[in-house]
Structure 1
Amino acid sequence: MLRHRRGRHQPQRRRDARRGARRSGRRGRRRRNQVSDAFSRTRDAARRCDGVVCRRVAVRPADAYGAVARRALRDARPGAEAADFLEAIGVPAFKTGSGELTNLPLQRHIARKHKPMIVSTGMSTPEEIDRTVQTVRAEGAPFALMHCTSTYPTPYEHVQLGYISRLQERYRVPVGLSDHTLGSYMAFAAAATGANLFEKHVTVSRSLPGPDQQGSMEPAELRELVQGIRAIEKANGATKTIQPGEQDVRNMAHHSVVSIREIAAGATIAAGDVWAKRPGTGIPARQLDEVIGRVAKRSIPADRLIRWEDLEPAL
């Protein structure tokens, strides 16, 4: 009886298993489609927003990145074989995360490809950064560093923006901020203080699952961030000149030597006869003392700009 019952239900079990497999396959396909769609929307948003580091944003198809992730799970040398694969599909540069900073064999392997590297430095010590920089430099690869705090999201007091300039001074390479704070404040501050690069995680929706979704930016926020950084780049000059458009304001706002009472022709101008008033189109206020003691060539009404031609030549 038991054998008969087991045999009778065996086809049903097989049918259930096949249905389960089909459902699982459909779920997998839906998930892959969702990921691909999300990737495409992020790529398109990035292209519309303009890149923060470079003017054009080149994004590889989602299945290429999926292939990298799948290879990483089965590689005998995790990271190294993924880097080889990325080189094979033609990436122009390599970015290593903070978790790879102390993986000197991997850093060396990538540096030997002699493509530009961007190296994140989160959750590390100055000594560890030193060792990695020495390793990469020994292979002759060009590189930049990313100052980073590896908490999601990062509290403002843990960002330590001032360390960007210290890294720039110590290593004489471009240094950026890999930002995991909420919002755009740190991006704008980093741009204003001289960061050369900027990295921010982007998502099509913070409602998606994942460890860093809550600290990521949605496309509209990314657009605003890029526009803000571009504005700060324009504002970051360090020279002082009279800018176009300032001259008209200067003429109105500066002060000139003005008679504060009537001065008769032939009179010697006294300190009580003149003062500095707007506009700034006459004798500059700084030359008031040069006017005092001069002789008026002609009668000068009260409250009038004094001109050099109103005065006799100095003796």
Structure 2
Amino acid sequence: MLHEAKAPVGVAESQIPDWLFIFEMANNHMGDVEHGIRIIREFADVAKDFPEFKFSFKLQYRDIKTFVHPDYQDRFDLKFVKRFSETNLSQEQRSALLGAIKQYGFISMCTPFDEKSVDDIVADGYDILKIPSCAFTDWPLLEKIGQTNLPIVVSCAGANLEGLDNVVAFLKHRKKDFVLMHCVGEYPTTNEKLQLGQIEFLKQRYPGVRIGFSTHEDPNELLPVSLAITKGAQVFEKHVGVPTDTIKLNGYSANPQQARAWLEAARQARIINGALTERSRATDGERATLGDLARGVFVKRDVKAGEKLTNEDVFFAIPTQKGHITAHDWSKYTHFYATTDLKAKEPVLQDNSRRVEVREKVYSIVQRVKSLLNRAAIPVPGEVDLEISHHYGLDKFDEHGITVITVVNRAYCKRLIVVLPGQTHPEQWHKVKEESFHVLYGDLTVTLNGQAEEVQVGEVVTVEREVRHGFTSKGGAVIEEISSNYAKEDTFYTDPAIGKYEGRKTFLTHWLG
């Protein structure tokens, strides 16, 4: 019935599983071992119907001789002295209850209220140790608990922010496996005092610390556990007991029927809440509905087999067909080529097109450009576009291409040109624009009207209007281009095939992060 949760790769596996429900017997055994075993047995019968959850049964240990001042140990007029004395168990009785907890498949847990009880819990072989809210900043007791190797569940009712920070730091520094439980120390707790938003607060304040919910509300209340689950709690604690003709439960302890309803509410909340740590997957019905409304890709004109399809060649419309390429597939990182002749208005399908993904290639280019700029120690303004010019296609970018960062383009223009090692920029000219190249980093060979010239860092080359120019770099270069206004229609290539290739540029805005 009980299985421990698996930790993510690289994270130590916790001994406290997620979706753990703790049944707190406290003193509801009334000092009667047989009644205590009955409680364990009846709640085991409840737990078996919820195999998706893990279950723990919890006792409390107090050494009356040290926990209560010697002069007050007979003062039964004091509520807690009377209660604890009347329900105090011998070592033999505690062992009998612990044996029943293990017999019925529960994870065993116990709360110590004094240092001697910590030693007893360890000696008796409990699985988990619990720190109660009343001992949250009891530093002598915490130091004793910190010396054990047991995982810890910690309730923090009434703790102020300083106390919270200090205890969490104390447990983290000692590399303890622990869960921090939101709790309100009123018995019972009315709904308006539950403060379930604290679960979210604790999760945000202590990233990586698991947060649970220890409950004291009326056991007939089912909404709180559902809300706690939506806030992200995955460990829960509730006081439980079994009423008899002579035993009446207090206002915050659940009987088996109430606990069953509580767990069923948790089950439904978990189902409704869905995944907490990863993106949920679309349902079959969701995919079908969304798929019916997805726009399919259709060609505008007749297309020959082998042609690359561009934005100008297609339109998007419903309805789609089986195997249809949709607008969700169409992006600047995904290229499609017709594998058969297509007539105008025909659909682009998986069976009549070839898909080529270029995202990884673009990512590689961006990383190399950023690396070269870092080596050159050249700052780049945020939110500027990166223009990747792949004159003969991305597959030939490393031989023929450059990347350009436009810093300013008004009546005047400033751009940074990055030439990666081994790249050549094809020859071109301008009718309107005049430009100057200032070499900031690396080696550069500039060709002007067919004459090659090596340019050193710091030197400036001016390119007048209608002068054919190209450049190349063996080891990589960064050039500052200063010119009159840049307009793409004022660029002419010696190779006319480049000018006809409309998909020769890829623009990226968010590339610096």
Q: Do residues 177 (structure 1) and 227 (structure 2) align?
A: no
Q: Do residues 248 (structure 1) and 288 (structure 2) align?
A: yes
Q: Do residues 239 (structure 1) and 275 (structure 2) align?
A: no
**C-alpha offsets along residues 71-112 of structure 1, whole Å, 9 cap, x if unaligned?**
532346952211211111111221111111121111121121
Aligned residue for 1:197? 235
Aligned residue for 1:45? 46
Rounded Cα–Cα distance in structure 1 between residues aligned with 2:318 and 2:244: 59
Q: 1:245 to 1:188 in 2, by over 3 A?
A: same
Q: Which of 159, 164, 167 lines up with 1:132 in the alignment?
A: 167
Q: Which of 174, 184, 195 lines up with 1:160 in the alignment?
A: 195
Q: Do residues 141 (structure 1) and 176 (structure 2) align?
A: yes
Q: Do residues 73 (structure 1) and 68 (structure 2) align?
A: no
Aligned residue for 1:15? none
Q: 1:232 to 1:89 in 2, by over 3 A?
A: farther
Whichever residue aligns with residue 147 of structure 1, its letter is H
Rounded Cα–Cα distance in structure 1 between residues aligned with 2:260 and 2:204: 35
1:26-37 equivalences in 2 (<5 Å): 32-37=33-38
Aligned residue for 1:5? none
Asked if 2 retains the 8 angstrom alpha-carbon contact of 1:94 and 1:116, the reply is yes
Q: 1:211 to 1:308 in 2, by over 3 A?
A: closer
Asked if 2 retains the 8 angstrom alpha-carbon contact of 1:203 and 1:219, the reply is no
Aligned residue for 1:263? none
Asked if 2 retains the 8 angstrom alpha-carbon contact of 1:119 and 1:146, the reply is yes
Aligned residue for 1:269? none
Asked if 1 retains the 8 angstrom alpha-carbon contact of 2:296 and 2:320, the reply is yes
Q: Which secondary structure state, in structure 2, belongs to the residue aligned with residue 169 of structure 1?
A: helix
Q: 1:307 to 1:252 in 2, by over 3 A?
A: same
1:273-288 equivalences in 2 (<5 Å): none
Aligned residue for 1:211? 250
Asked if 2 retains the 8 angstrom alpha-carbon contact of 1:93 and 1:116, the reply is yes
TM-score by length of 2: 0.40
Rounded Cα–Cα distance in structure 1 between residues aligned with 2:51 and 2:189: 25
Structure 1 unaligned runs (5+)?
A: 1-27, 259-274, 288-296, 299-305, 310-315
> Which protein has the bigger strand share?
2
Aligned residue for 1:6? none
Q: 1:202 to 1:225 in 2, by over 3 A?
A: farther
**C-alpha offsets along residues 288-313 of structure 1, whole Å, 9 cap, x if unaligned?**
xxxxxxxxx79xxxxxxx6348xxxx
| 1:213 Cα offset (Å) | 4.0
Whichever residue aligns with residue 123 of structure 1, its letter is G
**C-alpha offsets along residues 208-239 of structure 1, whole Å, 9 cap, x if unaligned?**
52434456772421441342254256443653
Rounded Cα–Cα distance in structure 2 between residues aligned with 1:109 and 1:214: 30
Q: Give me the CA root mean square deviation.
A: 4.1
Asked if 2 retains the 8 angstrom alpha-carbon contact of 1:108 and 1:139, the reply is no
Rounded Cα–Cα distance in structure 2 between residues aligned with 1:235 and 1:193: 12
Rounded Cα–Cα distance in structure 1 between residues aligned with 2:347 and 2:57: 67
Equivalent pairs counted in the alignment come to: 244
Q: 1:45 to 1:216 in 2, by over 3 A?
A: closer
Whichever residue aligns with residue 241 of structure 2, its letter is T
Q: 1:308 to 1:143 in 2, by over 3 A?
A: closer
Aligned residue for 2:264? 224
Q: Do residues 115 (structure 1) and 153 (structure 2) align?
A: no
Asked if 1 retains the 8 angstrom alpha-carbon contact of 2:297 and 2:347, the reply is no
Rounded Cα–Cα distance in structure 1 between residues aligned with 2:164 and 2:244: 32
Rounded Cα–Cα distance in structure 2 between residues aligned with 1:94 and 1:30: 21
Question: Which structure is higher in RCO with an 8 Å CA cutoff and minimum separation 6?
Answer: 1
**C-alpha offsets along residues 255-279 of structure 1, whole Å, 9 cap, x if unaligned?**
6799xxxxxxxxxxxxxxxx96667
| 1:120 Cα offset (Å) | 0.3
Rounded Cα–Cα distance in structure 2 between residues aligned with 1:214 and 1:143: 25
Q: Which secondary structure state, in structure 2, belongs to the residue aligned with residue 49 of structure 1?
A: coil
Q: Do residues 96 (structure 1) and 97 (structure 2) align?
A: no
Rounded Cα–Cα distance in structure 2 between residues aligned with 1:125 and 1:96: 16
Rounded Cα–Cα distance in structure 2 between residues aligned with 1:111 and 1:97: 14
Asked if 2 retains the 8 angstrom alpha-carbon contact of 1:206 and 1:213, the reply is no
Q: 1:214 to 1:87 in 2, by over 3 A?
A: closer
TM-score by length of 1: 0.61
| 1:118 Cα offset (Å) | 1.0
Q: Which secondary structure state, in structure 2, belongs to the residue aligned with residue 122 of structure 1?
A: coil
Q: 1:149 to 1:170 in 2, by over 3 A?
A: same
| 1:245 Cα offset (Å) | 4.2
Deviates most, 97-106 or 233-242? 233-242
